C-alpha cells in the first residue's frame, strides 16, 4: 500500500536551517509529482511547493520562495525539503503529499512532521 513517511522535524532557532525528508513506498515514485503542504498549529492548510515527477520543474509559494528548496531522488524514492533562514511563522506540521495521476488532487498524504522555529 502507498506509504509516505516524513522525518527531520524538530525545534530550530530562527535563521537556522532544517532538512525534511519523505520516504515513499508502495508505488512507482518516479512517475508522480509531489507536494509539500504545511499546517501551522490550529490553522488551515498552506501549499508550500511542488516538484514534477522528474524533478526538473519546481514551484514555490511566495512565503517560502528563495528560502526553501524542494528536491527528489527517484533512485531512493525520497522527497526532500531544504528549509533555510527559518522564521517563527514557518512553525507548522509539514506534510509530504502525492499528486494523483488523473488530475491535480492529492490522493495520499504522509502523517506529517512538526517543525518548531523558536529561540
Partner 1 sequence: QSVLTQPPSVSGAPGQRVTISCTGSSSDIGAGYDVHWYQQFPGTAPKLLVYANNNRPSGVPDRFSGSKSGTSASLAITGLQAEDEADYYCQSYDSSLSGHYVFGTGTKVTVL
Residues found near partner 1 in the complex (CB under 8 A):
35, 37, 44-47, 50, 57-63, 95, 100, 102-107, 109-112
- DSSP letters for 19-52: EEEEEEESS-GGGS-EEEEEE-TTS-EEEEEEE-
Is the Cβ of residue 68 or residue 95 nearer to partner 1 in the bound state? 95
Q: Specify the 3-state DSSP secondary structure of 87.
A: coil
Is the Cβ of residue 12 or residue 110 nearer to partner 1 in the bound state? 110
DSSP state of 76: T
Is the Cβ of residue 100 or residue 118 nearer to partner 1 in the bound state? 100
- Tell me the C-alpha to C-alpha distance, in Å, between residue 70 and each of 1, 34, 43, 54, 82: 24, 9, 23, 12, 6
Is the Cβ of residue 16 or residue 43 nearer to partner 1 in the bound state? 43
Nearest distance from residue 100's CB to partner 1, in Å? 7
Nearest distance from residue 57's CB to partner 1, in Å? 8
| Residues belonging to the chain | 119
Nearest distance from residue 75's CB to partner 1, in Å? 25
Amino acid at each position: 500500500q502507498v506509504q509516505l513517511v516524513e522525518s527531520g522535524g524538530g525545534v530550530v532557532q530562527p535563521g537556522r536551517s532544517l532538512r525534511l525528508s519523505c520516504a515513499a513506498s508502495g508505488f512507482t515514485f518516479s512517475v508522480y509529482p509531489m507536494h509539500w503542504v504545511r499546517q501551522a498549529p490550529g490553522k488551515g492548510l498552506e501549499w508550500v511547493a511542488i516538484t514534477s515527477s522528474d524533478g526538473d520543474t519546481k514551484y514555490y509559494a511566495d512565503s517560502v520562495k528563495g528560502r526553501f528548496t524542494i528536491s527528489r531522488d527517484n533512485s531512493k524514492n525520497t522527497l526532500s525539503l531544504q528549509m533555510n533562514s527559518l522564521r517563527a511563522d514557518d512553525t507548522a506540521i509539514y506534510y509530504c503529499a502525492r499528486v494523483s495521476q488523473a488530475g491535480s488532487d492529492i490522493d495520499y498524504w504522509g502523517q506529517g512532521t512538526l517543525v518548531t522555529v523558536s529561540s
